[in-house]
Amino acid sequence: MAFNDFRFRVAFRVVLIGLTMALFVYMVTRPNMIFAAGLMLLIIIGQLIELFRFSSQTNRKLTRFLESVRYSDFLSGFAYDNKLGKSFRELNTAFNEVLEAFRKARTEKEEHWQYLNTIVQQVRTGIISFDPEGEVQLINPIARKYIGISNIKNINELASRNNKLYAALIEVESGKSILYKGSADVLLTLQATELRIRGGHVKLVTLQNIQTELQKQELEAWQNLTRVLRHEIMNSITPISSLTSTLREILDYDLTKKDTHYELKPEGAEDLREGLATIEGRSKGLIKFIDAYREYTSVPQPKLKTIVLKDLIEKVIQFLKPEIRKTNIVLESACGSEYLTIQADEEMIEQVLINLVKNAMEALDNTKQPKIQLKGSYTENAVIVEVIDNGPGIIPEAIERVFVPFFTTKKTGSGIGLALSRQIMQMHNGTLTVQSEPDVQTVFTLRF
């Protein structure tokens, strides 16, 4: 109805105030109605106050809406004054829709929080976050287990319980990781990242126990080493033992005593000579194997310095030129920039590159138009050096084992070169990887 329209009610009050003021003016002009005029003035003031109150409903409604948003009171609704007209109904509808959107967003946010919190509580990696004052924002059961405090509120509480772990949590830098040695079965790797939440900084640290994995890998490494040692030693000791028995039999049956001296039959002497030569050869082979093992286990610590990559590549090329000239191999080199540098032990990295190029040369023996490329470049926040050849490549079954000590696909190889090269790169905090497509291309990549 029109009587319920907000605009009609405002207009009615304005007209009523106008009539009241006209009556007030009329009374003022009549001396005998002065008292009545005073009462009429009070009525006018009351009408103005009531008009202000009535017309300010929109402001009160907006204030109430903003307070609902501020205090997350999304259960309130706006509908009681819908009868005041279309404009009020539309305003109430808009307010209710906004509150409903906030209510859904908060519900989804709470669901996501519960979901992520459940994941954090269930993962087998310790997670803890704290602000610059040390107040713990988040911690899961695994982190509590490693820390040793079930109800920790501030990271500083750990200082008196485990100062070494406390120092590790504080000192680990964002984007980096450090190792913390706890008990005999705990070796933690701590990784940190910095977050900015609600204008404040929060440090998030993950704690992962790698002791079990290290023990498994150590056991596997010892098993592989034992298998290799057993194979190499048995290959040498077995024929030596057999030949020793044979030589003793030769001396027993073919050696005869004549007065003051001994005589050995010609065929026995030849057998004796061949047996001793075989023993000598196998002994030298065993010594060579032991020397290779000693070389692998006695690599000195690298002496790091700044090296210009272009100069390093050119030096390796110059060293290999005499050998390359004896073949029909094309050796090419390239460097993405003459300003690229690496922090490395020059002699060690030279040895790695020379070893990789020589391996490529051996692989290209039966390749038409053989070619080796030595490239340096910068990519993915790292300096890389690639040794590329177009030889027969490495079969998929062997590519995962080429870096295993003493594993080799060459008849005369010791199986130590690639393993030693990878060890040197690991000591430089780098990596050595290989990709190979048989009969197309093989790429060994050094990443610094």
Distance of CA 260 to the CA centre of its chain: 81
CA distance 227 to 221: 10
Decide: 337 and 406 in contact? Cβ < 8 Å: no
Angle at which helices 6-28 and 34-55 pack, to 10 degrees?
Answer: 160
d(CA 7, CA 2): 9
Predicted local distance difference test score (pLDDT) of residue 288: 67
Of 283, 361, 345, which is closest to residue 312 (Cα–Cα)?
A: 345
Contact 275, 239 (CB under 8 A): no
Dist CA 43 CA 34 (whole Å): 14
Contacts 24+ apart (CB under 8 A), 95-99: 95/61, 95/65, 98/65, 98/69, 99/65, 99/68, 99/69, 99/74
Burial (CB count <10 Å: 0-12, 13-18, 19+), residue 366: exposed
Asked if 355 contacts 313 with a C-beta cutoff of 8 angstroms, the reply is: no
pLDDT confidence of residue 1: 43
Helices then strands, counting H and E runs in the chain, come out as 12, 14
Strands 371-379 and 330-335: parallel
Please spell the DSSP secondary structure of 392-447, one letter per residue: S---HHHHTTTTSTT--SSTT--S-HHHHHHHHHHHTT-EEEEEEETTTEEEEEEE
Q: How many CB atoms lie within 10 A of CB 203?
A: 21
DSSP string covering 287-354, please? Answer: HHHHHHHHHHH-PPPP--EEEEHHHHHHHHHHHHHHHHHTS--EEEEEES-TT-EEEE-HHHHHHHHH
28: which residues sit within 8 A by CB, 6+ positions away?
34, 37
Residue type, 273: R
List phi, psi (to 5°) of 379.
-155, 145
Count Cβ atoms below 10 Å from residue 330 Cβ, excluding itself.
13
Q: What angle do CA 336, 340, 344 make, to 5 degrees?
A: 130
| Entry pTM | 0.46
- Please compute, for residue 169, the number of CA atoms within 13 A of its CA located in the half-sphere on the CB side: 30
pLDDT at 386: 92
Q: Is 383 exposed, middle or buried (0-12, 13-18, 19+ CB in 10 A)?
A: buried
What is the per-residue pLDDT for 169?
87
- Write out the two tokens for 187: 């070796």
Q: CA 226, 231, 237: angle at the middle one, nearest 5?
A: 115
> pLDDT (tens digit, 9 = 90+) per residue, 172-204?
888 888 888 876 667 888 888 888 877 788 888
Handedness of CA 284, 289, 290, 292 (dihedral sign): positive
Q: Residues near 242 by Cβ (< 8 Å), separated by ≥ 6?
A: none
| Burial class of residue 365 in the structure, from the number of CB atoms within 10 Å of its CB (0-12 exposed, 13-18 middle, 19+ buried) | exposed
**Which pLDDT belongs to residue 392?**
85
| 378: helix, strand or coil | strand
Whether the CA torsion 360, 401, 420, 380 is positive or negative: it is: positive
Residues of the chain with pLDDT under 70: 1-11, 51-67, 69-91, 95, 183-185, 215, 217-219, 221-229, 231-236, 239, 252-262, 264-265, 268, 282, 285, 288-300, 400, 404-417
How wide is the angle at C-alpha 346 spanned by C-alphas 335 and 376, nearest 5°?
Answer: 15
Tokens of 13: 């009050």
- Ranges of beta strands (E only) in 182-326 are 187-197, 200-209, 255-258, 261-264, 305-308
- Specify the DSSP element, H or E, that contains 269: helix 266-297
